[in-house]
Amino acid sequence: MSRKADHKKIVIIGGSFGGINAAYALRRRLGDRAEITVISKDPEFTFLPSLPWVLLGWRDPTQLQISLHQPLMRRGIHFIHGEVKELDPGKGEARTASARYPFDILLIASGADLDYAAVPGLGPAGGHTQSTFTIREAVCARDALARVLAGEHGRIVIGAAAGASCIGPAYEIAMMIDTVLRQAHKRHRFTIRFVTPEPFIGHWGVGGIGMSPRMIQDEFAERHIDPIVNAKLIEARADRLILADGTEHEFDFSLMIPSFLGAAFVRGVDGLANPKGFVSVTPQLTSVNFSNVYAVGVAIAIAPPGQTPVPVAVPKTGHMTELMAHAAAHNIAAELNGGAKMDGLSLPTTCIADAGDTAFYLSADPFLPPRNKVIHKKGKWARYLKLAFEKYYLARIRHDWPSLHFGW
């Protein structure tokens, strides 16, 4: 068989933590024995964990982005700026509006769609609440928040809709707003409420991490952040949120995390995803029905460890996504070269939640209970660690530096 015939076409959909780390790892593992193509609807990599800092005006959003074309092309990885519209796993083809991309192996790292339509009035585009999952959203929220904080009093409501995942940024933003107001000596003239579908503060969709829920609950009590748990948001109006129990929560500024849906091109393939559009995978991160399809990160389906009165989805952190990307790359290489595959789901995770004047360092191994190890600590040092990690990670994406798996 010729060298050209030996080449496998690997297509990766997504240009964030999962897609880029998988592309780099596959190039290192496979050398020139594979043709690797990354298709991303965004031309830049964005360090999403720092978007809450954009909202507070603490970071220029341009400092958090790196153009993907040159870093990938330098490593012989094809980069396509485009959005996948259709997927045919049987034929081995991904399609954008203008081209078709054949593949022998596909890796889906496309993240998720934000389901603002699930709640009338939710979201910054045509709705009444803010969010912070894109640069545009963070800038819009920054400007809206600045107008409220410039006043002498205000009502602030932060939280999440039913079924939301990745609620962590909402916790950060609530505490950071409290910090800003205390530093301005006008915290006593503002109310901050935290409206969440979680059954208790610090649940995070995984039943909490060790004793950290008590730590976060005590922090909220000291900061006079009023929690509303088991909250099911049914409507957002111009000045208030309406919950299923009939209560209303008035606001001058509100940021609410929406629930997620799998990407539209995933939802369009029978047998690929669950009803919400997230790819059903084996422990080796292959689709349960399509052996030539892998998936990582937010794109995959992970069942909650337990039922809650109001649905709360399991978060997939950036750290988890990166570890999955490396596991998927290992397994793809093992598939092509021979060798044992690894479990890509029983993974640890580490995250740092900033509070403006301090931060919380949380680590769980594995992420879902029962766990072998849990770490939860609080201190300004954790905030400095998160600041340093942002700089390191952006440089790493630009230059493909070795990984430091302490998370963010």
How far is it, in rounded angstroms, from Cα 11 to Cα 190? 50
Shared-domain flag, residues 172 and 69:
no
Question: 231 with 139, same domain?
Answer: yes
Domain range spanning residue 329? 3-114+260-346
pLDDT digit string (tens) for 166-185? 999 999 999 999 999 999 99
Residue 408, pLDDT > 60, answer no
pLDDT bin (cut points 50, 70, 90) of residue 101 is very high
CA 133 – CA 257 distance, rounded (Å): 9
Per-residue pLDDT averaged across 112-126, rounded?
96
Looking at the fold, whether 76 and 20 belong to one and the same domain comes out as: yes
Evaluate if residue 3 carries a pLDDT over 80: no
Residue ranges of E strands in 310-390: 349-354, 359-365, 373-378
Residue 382: which pLDDT band, with cuts at 50, 70 and 90?
A: very high
CB atoms within 10 A of CB 193: 21
**3-state SS string for 209-235:** CCCHHHHHHHHHHHHCEEEECCCCEEE
Among the listed residues 276, 251, 275, 264, the one whose alpha carbon sits nearest the alpha carbon of residue 121? 251
Q: Which two tokens stand for residue 210?
A: 């060790």
Is 187 found in the same domain as 128? yes
Supply the pLDDT for residue 7: 81
Beta strands in 96-146 (DSSP E): 100-102, 105-108, 112-114
Assess if residue 358 is contained within a domain. Answer: no
Per-residue pLDDT averaged across 374-395, rounded? 95
Residue 404: its pLDDT value, please?
54
Q: How far is CA 65 from CA 159, 264, 355, in A?
A: 26, 25, 23
pLDDT at residue 241 in the model: 98
* 126 and 251, same domain (yes or no): yes
In a domain, 204, yes or no: yes
Assign residue 272 the CATH number of its domain: 3.50.50.100
One domain, residues 124 and 238: yes
Tell me the two tokens of residue 285.
């991160």
pLDDT of 345 strictly over 80: yes
* Closest-CA residue to 310 (of 207, 229, 254): 229
Is the same domain home to 148 and 223? yes
Is the distance from CB of 62 to CB of 52 less than 8 angstroms? no
What percent of the chain is modeled with pLDDT above 70? 97
CA-wise closest residue to 155 among 187, 131, 191, 184: 191
- Tell me, yes or no, whether 54 lies in a domain: yes
Catalytic-residue membership of 166: yes
Our count of domains for the chain comes to 2
Q: How many residues does the chain have?
A: 408
pLDDT tens for residues 11-54? 999 999 999 999 999 999 999 999 999 999 999 999 999 999 99
331 found inside a domain: yes
Q: Looking at the structure, do residues 51 and 96 belong to the same domain, yes or no?
A: yes
Of the residues 259, 278, 294, the one at which a domain ends: 259
Of 87, 209, 328, 351, the catalytic one is 351
Same domain? 78 vs 105: yes
Q: What's the rounded Cα separation, in Å, for the pair 112 and 314? A: 13
Q: Is residue 265 part of a domain?
A: yes
Other Cβ atoms within 10 Å of 239 Cβ, number: 13
Is residue 190 located within the same domain as residue 83? no
The pLDDT value given to residue 46: 97
Q: What is the CATH number of the domain that holds 153?
A: 3.50.50.60
**pLDDT digits over 295-304, tens only?**
999 999 999 9
At 252-287, the pLDDT tens digits run 999 999 999 999 999 999 999 999 999 999 999 999
| pLDDT score for 402 | 62
Q: Are 265 and 329 in the same domain?
A: yes
**pTM of the complete model:** 0.95
Q: Give the pLDDT confidence score for residue 407 in this predicted structure.
A: 39
pLDDT of 405 over the 90 cut = no
Where is the domain boundary, 319, 346, 373?
A: 346
| Active-site residue, selected from the candidate residues 166, 241, 263, 336 | 166
* Mean pLDDT calculated for residue range 202-217: 95
Residue 199 lies in a domain: yes
- 360 in a structural domain: no
> Is there a catalytic annotation at residue 351?
yes
Looking at the domain assignment, is residue 83 inside a domain? yes
Same domain, 339 and 232: no
State the Cα–Cα distance between residues 353 and 365, nearest whole angstrom: 18
Q: Would you state the torsion angle of the CA atoms of residues 260, 266, 269, 272, taken in this order, to the nearest 10 degrees?
A: -80
Mean pLDDT across the stretch 346-367?
94
Domain end call among 289, 314, 346: 346
Q: Distance between CA atoms of 398 and 390, rounded to whole angstroms? A: 12
pLDDT of residue 406: 40
**Phi, psi angle pair for 398, to nearest 5°:** -70, -35
